[in-house]
Structure 1
Amino acid sequence: MAAKKSERMLVDEWRGILAVHARTTCELDRELHQYGIGASDFEVLDVLVEGRAEDGGAAYRVQELASRVHLSQSALSRLIGRLEKEDLVHRGMCSEDRRGVRVVITDKGRALHTQVRPLQRAVLSRMLADRPS
């Protein structure tokens, strides 16, 4: 009986995490819509602005971005294509591996990120405030 209860608690906790994620993503999408981007778009811009790629440079390989933003490589490629059409990012071939693609944020992408970041952080703060740690 104790094992079943423990398993039930584990499943309930998992479903709670999924629910918080879904509510937060929906709220982010709603708030960011006015800027022409969604939660995943912002997440890519945020990663590009925030950190350094594994090689220490400013450009990320698509595979590296996919692991950071938790999207499949194909979904991320479509998202990057949309961001590139809006001149928010630029794609280029990897110099060390011609099959690889690197992504870098543009000045326009950086400006949008700077404008939207406080809104995104406010949504996160509001949505995650009552979440048990």
Structure 2
Amino acid sequence: MTSEPALVERWRSLLSSYNEVAGHLERALQETHGLTMGEFETLDRLITVTCEKRRMQELAADMYLSQSALSRTVARLEKGGLVRRSLCEDDRRGIFVSVTEEGLQRHADARATHRAILAEHLGTSAPAG
């Protein structure tokens, strides 16, 4: 069994690693593509699903953002023309989010930066494409 001090040290090491990588990602994505890390992650999760749109509740369940933080993130992306929100026809309380053509392009451009930063800081080579 792992001792308590060793367990705490592993946790602190994990936090330090996360904070270092997240800081590099945040700066690179913002400076190069005008996206926050949360905005990129939202686009990335929308694009990697097999359907053309997702319910906000499903997206929130998959992400580390709270429902209100995700709502603010989606509002910024929508204001920038990168996503579109629409009401569910069957349940007017439900909101769908879909990526626009501009959002697809911004994501494609930012994806290379995102993957390069991950590769640099997590010790693997950057994947092609």
Whether the TM-score (by the shorter chain) exceeds 0.5 is: yes
Secondary structure at the aligned position of 1:102 is classed as strand
2:9 matched to which residue of 1? 12
2:111 matched to which residue of 1? 117
1:22 matched to which residue of 2? 19
Distance 2:111 2:21 in 1: 15
| Aligned match for 2:45, one of 47, 52, 66 | 47
2:123 matched to which residue of 1? 129
User: What 5-or-longer segments of structure 2 have no aligned partner?
Assistant: 125-129
Q: Which runs of 4+ in 1 moved over 4 A?
A: none
**Contact map agreement 1:88 1:109 (CA 8 A) in 2:** yes
RMSD: 1.5
Distance 2:15 2:55 in 1: 28
User: What 5-or-longer segments of structure 1 have no aligned partner?
Assistant: none
Could you tell me how far 1:113 is from its partner in structure 2?
0.7
**Contact map agreement 1:40 1:69 (CA 8 A) in 2:** no
Residue 84 of structure 2 corresponds to residue 90 of structure 1: yes
Amino acid of the structure 1 residue aligned with 2:28: E
Could you tell me how far 1:105 is from its partner in structure 2?
0.5
Q: Normalized against structure 1, the TM-score is what? A: 0.86
Q: Work out the number of aligned pairs and report it.
A: 123
Q: Normalized against structure 2, the TM-score is what? A: 0.88
